[in-house]
Amino acid sequence: TVSRIVQVEINGRGTLAKLADFSLGGCAIRVSNSQFIEPGESVRFNINALFDTPIMFEGTVVTVTSSGEGIQLGIKFNNEGSHQARDTLARLIMSSEIDAENSTSHVSTAS
């Protein structure tokens, strides 16, 4: 599970979305329900701030489900298990561990 804003392009239409889940073979992205998206559509998205330059992923929408006030897209990457996906997954895990450590490091131990 991830919570990161990404820039998404779906069949040439750009929008901001939330990366909600990430694995070696694909991901889940949440977009507003003002988007009309069907399974089979091509998707590209950038992940910023994990590396020196933005990382681009490409895939195909395999599922579209309702999610709160928007929709969640299940995306299968075009290059499953790629080196890029492994590196990104590792960085996402490391950044979430660092965030968890920082949020607990401010707890006072005074009685």
pLDDT at 109 over 80: no
Q: Which helix (H) or strand (E) holds 94?
A: helix 83-104
- At 12, which amino acid appears? G
C-beta of residue 26 within 8 angstroms of C-beta of residue 87: no
Instruction: Please report which confidence band the pLDDT of residue 33 belongs to, taking 50, 70 and 90 as the band edges.
Output: low
User: Residue 39: pLDDT above 70?
Assistant: yes
CA-to-CA distance for 46 and 55, rounded, in angstroms?
5
Residue count of the chain = 111
pLDDT tens per residue across span 49-60: 777 788 889 999
User: What percent of the chain is modeled with pLDDT above 70?
Assistant: 81
Report pLDDT for 1: 80
Query: What predicted TM-score, i.e. pTM, was given to this entire model?
Result: 0.77
Task: Name the average pLDDT for the chain.
Answer: 81
Residue 17: which of 26, 27, 25 has the closest Cα?
27
